[in-house]
Amino acid sequence: MAAVSALSMLQSDYELDKLTSEIFSILENKFLFGYVDSKLRVNQIDDTVLVEEMKSDKRVTGKVRILSIDGGGATDGVLAASSLAHLEACLRRKSGNPNARIADFFDVVAGSGVGGVLAALLFSRGKDGGPMFTAEEALRFMIENKRRFFRSSPTGMLRRMFRPAKRSDRVLKSVFGECTLKDTLKAVLIPCYDLKTRAPFVFSRADALEIDGYDFKVRDVCKATLADTGVVGAVDMRSVDQRTKIVAIGGGVAMNNPTAAAITHVLNNKQEFPFCNGVEDLLVVSLGNGESEFGTGDLTSSPGALVKIAGDGASDMVDQAVAMAFAQSVGTNNYVRIQANGMEGHLKKRSELNNTSEILIIAEKMLAQKNVKSVLFQGKKLLENTNAEKLEMFAGDLIKEKERRKTSILPTVILKQTSSSSPRTSSATTLSTLSSFY
């Protein structure tokens, strides 16, 4: 009776799927009553190995892997894209798989502004059923389409991003077609700010699967998270079923650094992450996009400039808060922040950063910089490792977690499934997004 009661409680609390319920039945019978049925064994795991792991308090349920990508920055996402290209190269080399992709090693991705577009490119399902873009291809996409998405005003500030809107619309449609948030590979969070409700709005895969009114076209999601804070920058958009309407401005206004939102979501989403109870159950990498256009004119002359400064400040505050939460995990690599440090002298106005080689040189300099870590009550501390070295070490942790799951009896992540695994008809396919409950 105790076993039945425990199983019932788990099903009620987490609404686990049939497979997970069977797993718990196996565990209860094996460890409470000593019952063994070889037909029910998962991955043919040696009983003694699992018992020893439980006795030694090893984490048999593993860690949820989160990727967070900032919005903003004078290089329009190129710094973050370069970090992702470097990380993917490390994953391929260390895993021995030349076709490894970023999406293979993460459970959740959160992207704001240009970070949201990168998330869409890397975690969308392509024609072959795998990720649409490699990290290197996403980097080239960001560089080649820079002018189509980011149109500078006469004062050099980021304004009227989609002017003329038709050019950017054509690019996004050619990439994502008619795909929606339901067409996903992994879990993604992409924020914007809704002027109708005067509150942040997070586009979510799980919400889209549960309620049709929260299913949006991926190309519209990208436009919303990129939308400018200028007078004509807001984007009117509706859900696929036309029931939900929002008036969106950029994700940088809502949450320029979405790391805390992603962590909060995972810790509170017991349906998809049933065994994640604290930061010790997470592996998180947060990618910055460089400083804003400091030193490029009178910052007080444009409300948009002040918003950018506020966004950068908020990103630092999120980094400090997250670093504080992980502070007890001494000697671990559970949280890594990659951010350009003191590169104002290298960063020109956005309108002047048109040379591809120049942009890539700046990105290489950022990766070669010493990594900076936020320390409680002490500001920022310069570490011995470079940003590139920190990414390489983190790649090793991601591979270890992926290998551990191959022999794990308990699922670390139970993502909601779509009714179809094939993408919608389009020139490419779609982005993925994950549920958020705030």
Closest CA to 266 of 418, 68, 60: 68
176 near 217, Cβ under 8 Å?
Answer: yes
Closest CA to 290 of 358, 344, 233: 344
Q: What residue has token string 């080239």?
A: 140
d(CA 118, CA 98): 21
The answer to whether 435 is a known catalytic residue is no
End-to-end CA distance of the chain: 37
205 three-class SS: helix
Tokens found for residue 116: 């949201």
Q: Which of 68, 83, 112, 315 is catalytic?
A: 112
* Burial readout 229-268 (b: 16 or more C-beta within 10 A, e: otherwise): bbeebbbebebbeeebebbbbbbbbbbbbbbbbbbebbbe
d(CA 110, CA 435): 11
Q: What single-letter DSSP state applies at residue 269?
A: -
Q: What is the DSSP string of 19-67?
A: HHHHHHHHHHHHHHS----GGG-STT--HHHHHHHHHTT--TT--EEEE
Angle at 53 between CA 50 and CA 59, to 5 degrees: 110
Q: Indicate if the alpha-carbon torsion angle 51, 53, 56, 57 is positive or negative.
A: negative
- Catalytically active residues are 112
